[in-house]
C-alpha cells in the first residue's frame, strides 16, 4: 500500500497551527499612578516599612529609584509621598514589615542533632532558671547580712554590688584611714560580704 492509495486520499492532518506566543509580559499591575503596564521590578518602600516594596514597570522604577532615599525626609517629593502612604497603609505595597525583637531570643527549642545547639540551649535554660530561682527564693542569713554590710537592698543589681564593693575598698583602706583598727575590721567584713554574694551568684 502506498500513499497514493484511495484510503489516504480523504485523510487530512488535524494538527492545529501553533498560536504565536504573546510577547507582552504577564504579571501584577504597575503601582505607579495611572500606569497600566505590568510591574515586574521591585522597589523598597522606605525606613518605616522595611521588608515591603512596590512593583513598577521599567520606566517608573527608574524614576522612583532616581529620587529614592531610605529616609522619606531626604527623598524627592513624589517618592516621599509614595513612601509615606505605603507606611501608613494608604497605598498598597507588597511584602511584610519587619519588627525588631526587644530582647535577643533564646536558642531554638526545636530538637537538633548539633551538640553545640543542644548545649547552648541547655546552658541558656539553666541561666534563666537560676536567675528566676534567685529572684523567688528568700535570702539566707549570711546573704542578707552581706547586703547589710555593703549597705545595699536585697534587689541590688550585680553592677551596684561591684561598684559599692570598690567604693568601700577605697574608703576603708588602711592607707586612707591612718591604720585605724575600726576601718580595718569594716574592710575585712566588706571583703567577706562580697565573697559570699559572689559565691551565691549575686554578682
Band of pLDDT at residue 76, cut at 50, 70 and 90: confident
Task: Say if residues 139 and 154 touch (Cβ distance below 8 Å).
Answer: yes
Compute CA 190 distance to the chain's CA centroid, rounded to the nearest angstrom.
Answer: 42
Helices (H) and strands (E) in the chain, counts: 7, 3
Q: Full-prediction pTM beyond 0.85? A: no
List of residues 6+ apart from 45 with CB closer than 8 A: 52, 53, 54, 82, 83, 86, 87, 93, 95
Q: What is the largest CA-CA distance in the chain?
A: 133
Q: Between residues 92 and 136, which one has the greater pLDDT? A: 92
Mean pLDDT of the residues in the chain: 76
Give the integer Cα–Cα distance in Å for 58 and 16: 36
Range from 66-75, 107-116, 157-166 carrying the lowest mean pLDDT: 107-116
List of residues 6+ apart from 120 with CB closer than 8 A: 107
Q: Between residues 111 and 96, which one has the greater pLDDT? A: 96
Task: Say if residues 97 and 51 touch (Cβ distance below 8 Å).
Answer: yes
3-state secondary structure of 67: coil
Band of pLDDT at residue 98, cut at 50, 70 and 90: low
Count CA within 13 A, CB hemisphere, residue 86.
28
pLDDT at 30 over 60: yes
- Least Cα distance to 37 among 62, 10, 55, 63 occurs for 55
Task: Say if residues 203 and 170 touch (Cβ distance below 8 Å).
Answer: no
β partners of residue 29 = 38
DSSP state of 202: -
Q: What pLDDT, on the 0 to 100 scale, is given for residue 34?
A: 85
Band of pLDDT at residue 163, cut at 50, 70 and 90: very high
Domains of the chain, CATH where assigned: 41-95 (no CATH), 136-199 (1.10.287.110)
Amino acid at each position: 500500500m502506498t500513499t497514493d492509495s484511495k484510503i489516504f486520499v480523504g485523510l487530512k492532518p488535524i494538527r492545529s497551527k501553533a498560536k504565536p506566543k504573546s510577547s507582552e509580559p504577564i504579571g501584577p499591575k504597575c503601582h505607579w499612578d495611572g500606569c497600566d503596564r505590568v510591574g515586574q521590578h521591585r522597589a523598597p518602600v522606605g525606613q518605616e516599612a522595611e521588608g515591603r516594596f512596590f512593583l513598577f514597570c521599567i520606566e517608573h522604577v527608574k524614576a522612583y529609584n532616581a529620587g529614592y532615599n531610605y529616609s522619606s525626609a531626604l527623598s524627592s517629593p513624589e517618592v516621599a509621598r509614595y513612601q509615606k502612604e505605603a507606611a501608613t497603609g494608604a497605598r498598597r505595597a507588597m511584602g511584610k514589615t519587619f519588627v525588631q525583637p526587644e530582647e535577643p531570643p533564646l536558642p531554638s527549642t526545636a530538637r537538633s542533632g548539633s551538640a553545640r545547639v543542644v548545649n547552648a540551649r541547655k546552658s541558656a535554660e539553666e541561666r534563666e532558671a537560676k536567675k528566676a530561682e534567685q529572684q523567688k527564693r528568700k535570702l539566707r542569713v549570711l546573704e542578707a547580712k552581706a547586703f547589710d554590710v555593703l549597705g545595699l537592698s536585697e534587689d541590688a543589681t550585680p553592677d551596684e554590688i561591684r561598684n559599692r564593693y570598690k567604693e568601700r575598698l577605697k574608703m576603708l583602706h588602711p592607707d586612707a584611714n591612718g591604720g585605724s583598727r575600726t576601718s580595718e575590721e569594716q574592710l575585712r567584713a566588706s571583703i567577706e560580704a562580697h565573697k559570699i554574694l559572689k559565691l551565691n551568684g549575686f554578682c
